[in-house]
Amino acid sequence: MAPLLAGCLAAGPAATATPQAVVSVTITSAPGETLAFEPAETTVQAAGPVAMTFRNDSSLPHNLVFTAGLIAATRTVVEPGTTDQLLLVPPAPGAYPFVCTIHDGMAGTLIVRETVSSENTVAVPGAWPVPARNAAQSMAAAFLGE
């Protein structure tokens, strides 16, 4: 008789999925009523998608809209104390400027560099969002008695 449980416990996606390195980066807004992204310029090493989290740490609503090279933006206005996540697919290494369209002069830049090592990347075999991997690994380890 076939071990039917094996199919249920297989947490990973199909073996044919192409592993992609997703690089995570977090941008915040300056606290209080300061109109600034922090950091205003951030660099990631990525050969694939970039998961960018915008966390609004200020007391004012903001958004984050790329203005060149990438068509991406927060889904809506990000209220104080909340976050939004953008999955970016930079077409090439380069500098990608973004702004808050609510506040004149509130701007930042995401710099994408080619990956030179795998240290900053997390291999995610076709899965999204990124975080659940450790839990899945723990379950697999427990199942295997490790």
Kindly indicate which of the ranges 10-18, 47-55, 56-64, 85-93 contains the residues binding Cu ion, using the contact rule CB under 5 A. 56-64
- Cα of 6 vs its chain's centroid, Å: 32
Binder among 57, 103, 111, 115 for Cu ion (CB under 5 A) = 103
Helix, strand and coil percent figures for the chain, each rounded to 5: 10, 35, 55
Q: Taking CB positions, which residue lies at the least distance from Cu ion? A: 100
Min dist CB 89 to Cu ion, Å, is 25
Establish if 27 lies at the interface with Cu ion (CB under 5 A). Answer: no
- Quick one: which of 86, 91, 67 has its CA closest to 76? 86
Establish if 78 lies at the interface with Cu ion (CB under 5 A). Answer: no
Establish if 102 lies at the interface with Cu ion (CB under 5 A). Answer: yes
Q: How many residues bind Cu ion (CB under 5 A)?
A: 5
At residue 131, φ and ψ (nearest 5 deg) are -55, -30
Min dist CB 65 to Cu ion, Å, is 10
- Residue with structure tokens 């997390």? 122
Beta strand pairing call for 107-113 and 41-45 = parallel
Min dist CB 85 to Cu ion, Å, is 18
